[in-house]
Structure 1
Amino acid sequence: MKHLAWLVLLLVLPGCWGNLPWGCPPDCIGADLIGRDMSGVSLSETKLVEANLRRSLLVRADLSGADLSGARLVEANLANADLNQALLLGVDLTKANLGGANLGGADLTGANLTGTNLTGADLTLARLWGGNLTQATLIGGNLTSTDLTGVGLAKANVSGSNLSNTNLNGAWLSGADMSGALLVRTSLPGAWLNLTNLTGSNLNSADLSGASLYAANLTGVDFKQANLAGANLVGADLGGADLRGANLQGALMAVADFIVDSITDPVITELNEADRARIARDANLCGSRYDQSTQWPETFEIPTCAILAE
């Protein structure tokens, strides 16, 4: 029955796709499909390894379980496409449109998603090890339990997204907009969040041990029970943050305890001298809340403008 379905596709699709290599689909390995309109087409489990799909139209296409490893999808339109459980190893999705797409359980290890639109996309349980999402847009995306180990999200817009239980170990998130994001129990040890906007985000029980949050905007952040041990908070604004039960042992808070020139993050080093001088200051804790279970750095003097919650 499945072979009959492929035969029907082979007879119908050439009219809208143009001439295709024989057997494509399901075997489209290395196929040249630049600019083709495949909107709404079912390509489930199709082999599109190293296919050239630059600027192709795949709106609402069914690519569930398909293998697109090494494929070129630069500026392709995959809005609302189904890529559930798809294999996208090393795929190039630079400036592609994946708004509203289903990428649940997909493997995007080493993928290039620079400047890609993922607004409202579902990446639940997806894997993006070492992926590049610099300047990508993920507003309102669902990245619950996604593996983003070592991913690059510098200057990306992740505002309002759900990243709870996500693995962001060693991720580069500097300069990103993560305001209002849900990061409950998220793993961020060693991550770079320098100059990141986390205003109003929820990091309850998150692990930020050894993370760098230099000059980050942390106003109103929920850090209850979070692990910030050894984190760099120099220059960060924690006004109104909730630090009840948080672990800040060994965290850097005062600019005098930190060598600013030791920062190698391009988001910081590319600033002009005046801007670098402006953000080199002690962490601001005025209006932040803490309780008796909050663990502070040794010898740290809690500012009187911080609020002890009973």
Structure 2
Amino acid sequence: MSAEPVVFIDGEAGTTGLGIRERLRALPVRIHSIDPARRKETQARAEAMAAADLVVLCLPDAASKEAVEMVEGLAASGQRTPKILDASTAFRTAPGWVYGFPELSEDQPEAIRQASRVANPGCYPTGAIALLRPLIDAGLMKPDFPVTINAVSGYTGGGRTMIETQEKEGGPAFMLYGLGLAHKHLPEIRQHALLEKRPIFVPSVGHFPRGMIVSIPVHMDLLVKGTTAADLRRALEERYVTSSFVRVCKAENTLVADALVGSDDMELRVHADEANTHVVLTARLDNLGKGASGAAIQNIALMLGVSPA
């Protein structure tokens, strides 16, 4: 790898790609770009991939799979093969790919450093897994716990069509979706939170550009006997005590979804009733920050072995 690693963003004109490009200014890397008039040309993309130490894929699932095949074609022809960070849903549960959530476990940062293929997490799963995985690892929540996840996001995470719908005059104030209960993030949440049962996941979009709250209601009598809200908070604090981006905060009676816009941080809370019978776990983040581009920058820094200048 060169003294100044080269990064090529395939799909840099999209929302996530633009966010990554902006944040890369803080890292000692060189961005390799294609002439906009040629950005969809296969030959131009292949040449850019061959020139890069790391390729970031900000593409739809099918296009990401095709791009990975292009990189594999470089190896087959004897050319240097770059590392890949994929921001789509295509590889988040795929064998041979490392999940790009550094806070997932103590060993995850090193796994990302060593990986040649890393899948950037989804925005909703980032909040859900951050809340659930430490509780299961600590033995407070059993893997067969009946999990329900409610979440609201700003509309920028929904792609061009949703953005256009929301930004036109009279766009919907609030919209539930995924009510077929088969959202594409479910396999990712289930696998990386170590859930044995498929959770009920109800996503929604609000009439605001950015921000996100993921909330998980919990009947305390369904947890391991004797578990308290303080135990849940302690498990979260112990997991994220060394994290620069995830922090456990004091419970509040109200939460505003867009409070962390522009930040790559995530806030976790344990909200409990006085009788310790019910708890609501919440994660607040910027869906384009820790939920997308911010997470990508964490992974890029690990994969290239660089730090902010």
More strand, by proportion: 2
TM over 0.5: no
- Which protein has greater RCO, CA pairs closer than 8 Å, 6+ apart? 2
Which has the greater radius of gyration? 1
TM-score, normalised with respect to structure 2: 0.28
TM-score, normalised with respect to structure 1: 0.28
